[in-house]
Amino acid sequence: MGELIADTAEIKGLEPQLDALDQHGYLLVRDALDLETVEAWRECLTRKYKHKEWDISNEVGNVAFDRLLEQEPELARVLIGHDSVSPYLKAMLGRQCQLRSFRAHINPGAYTQEWHKDFGYYWDAPDEARHALRPLCINTTFYLTDNTPETGRLTFIDNFCHNALPEEIRHLGGYNSDNPFYQWCEKQQQTHLYPLTGDAVVFFSHIPHQGAKLTQEDDNTPLRSNVVLHYQQTPMFPGISFVSSSLPAITALGYNGTFPFVDS
Ligand SMILES: O=C(O)CCC(=O)C(=O)O
Ligand SMILES: [Fe+2]
Residues 128-155: pLDDT tens digits? Answer: 888 888 889 999 999 999 999 999 999 9
CATH number, span 34-258: 2.60.120.620
CB of 225 sitting under 6 A from ligand 1: no
Q: How much is the mean pLDDT over the chain?
A: 92
Q: Whose CA is nearest to atom 6 of ligand 1?
A: 211
Q: Give tens-digit pLDDT for 205-226.
A: 999 999 999 999 999 999 999 9
pTM of the model: 0.95
Whether the predicted pLDDT of 4 surpasses 60: no
Alpha-carbon separation of residue 97 from 6, 83, 166, 210, 216 (angstroms): 27, 14, 29, 25, 37
pLDDT at 96 over 50: yes
* C-beta separation of 115 from 186 below 8 A: yes
The whole-number pLDDT of residue 2 equals: 38
Task: Using DSSP, state whether 143 is helix, strand or coil.
Answer: strand
- In 3D space, the residue among 3, 52, 1, 40 whose CA is nearest the CA of residue 193 turns out to be 3
Q: Note the pLDDT tens digit of each residue in 25-82.
A: 999 999 999 999 999 999 999 999 999 999 999 999 999 999 999 999 999 999 999 9
What's the 8 CA to ligand 2 centre distance in angstroms?
Answer: 19
117 alpha carbon to ligand 1 midpoint, in Å?
Answer: 10
pLDDT per residue over 228-248, tens digit each? 999 998 778 888 899 999 999
For residue 193, give the 3-state DSSP assignment.
strand
Quickly list H helices, the chain: 14-24, 35-50, 68-71, 73-77, 86-93, 121-128, 180-187, 247-253
- Confirm if 115 and 185 have CB atoms less than 8 A apart: yes
